[in-house]
A and B are shown apart, each in its own frame.
Chain A
């Protein structure tokens, strides 16, 4: 589940809360690694990239699942009578979108690993999930398209920047735009689903 080989047999005896907390801590640390832009100067930011990549090699799909579920729940609650349709649509779009973007990168000759890429793309949906939650609360007293658009645009820029940097590492220079465009498109799609 957490990608590391457990040699100590004692984890079977630990309380469930500890097991859950360990996974939650891993998920949150990955979220932090992927999403917080480095505030350091350009020299050390190269080492940050190495650090990020090293941590992300330890991929897991719990994080993306949590993020995707939260997003689907927020959007379906906000959709009123069409809730079930919206929930399944968002779920489908997130997972198949991540898969398609990854396969596209592989087809273009990228040396990316399938699950690692799906993991990163899933984690990078987190800013959009946060905004969806915020808008859910805001919509109880204010329904303004312009206000929504500003927030969604900010989250979109944040998500895209994080994942484009990651995907770009694995693709040759001549094809980078070809691999990055689907990532961009994927987040535009999700932002659109949040806005409508």
Chain B
């Protein structure tokens, strides 16, 4: 196994190892009065770092932390640091598969009968992820481009190759506008148009927006793009009827997922949620029409 460390931090250096004075052997440490017991800390420590680390009585005592590794200052270039995005990719293969399957089950409701089942699924384990949206969109770009070319190959001409490459570019713009641009606009709209949350009277920091955050809406839109994958495969069949039916079905499916999961989430009152539902449905229909007309003629 290669020992090449991750290029961007995340590995514990020796300085940052949680070296704890071995309280069992030497009683000069004064800080352990506040702890539940030196033994607990070293037990925690040894489970993280292995027996060798806790056995070495270190120079200073540091409070044990849940993760090894230095706590870094975000600094100016945090957006270029891979580690700052890692929480959004905290999923295993099983999780992604499970989320993909649950995203297709639009008919499922939460236990209390409300919508928002998929948001609940997203909240499990590592939280909403950006892996699904990104790679589903990439696959969709490729699939739409390929199937668009295949369905147009019945009219093969000299300009065919340029059309192939530019269709890739067009597919890229359309898909990414739909799966990344729309949720960004939606998030901004909700944030700007809804009243600021009331400040709690006891001075504690207010929970801005509750559970409405950007990564959840991004995840939602990303997984909602899934029905378009089989639809684009069906569009290789040279029949206008089949193409229209499959694209509209995909649109319906995707809109259903989005609407069911956003209706109760934001928008106070009847008018608010109707406006949101209307906007989402409208934009999704627009996207579906764009996909059908631009790529499958």
Contacts and interface: CB of A to CB of B under 8 A. Distances in A.
Contact of B165 (A81, A82, A116, A177): A82
Given A103-B82, A169-B2, A189-B142, A178 B7 contact: no
A188 B138 CA distance: 12
A114 B6 CA distance: 8
A181 B96 CA distance: 12
B161 A175 contact: no
Contacts of A89: 165
A196 B161 CA distance: 7
A182 B7 contact: no
B85 interface: yes
B139 A185 contact: yes
Contacts of A53: 2
Contacts of B287: none
A176 interface: yes
Query: Interface size class for chain A?
Result: 35 or more
Interface of A is mostly: helix
A106 interface: yes
Interface stretch (B43-51, B87-95, B231-239, B251-259): B87-95
B142 A188 contact: yes
Contacts of B91: 175, 178
B173 interface: no
B96 A178 contact: yes
Contacts of B158: 81
B2 A175 contact: no
Contact of B93 (A104, A112, A114, A178): A178
Given A89-B165, A111-B5, A175-B92, 9 more contacts: A79-B161, A104-B89, A108-B89, A108-B131, A169-B2, A174-B93, A175-B91, A182-B138, A192-B142
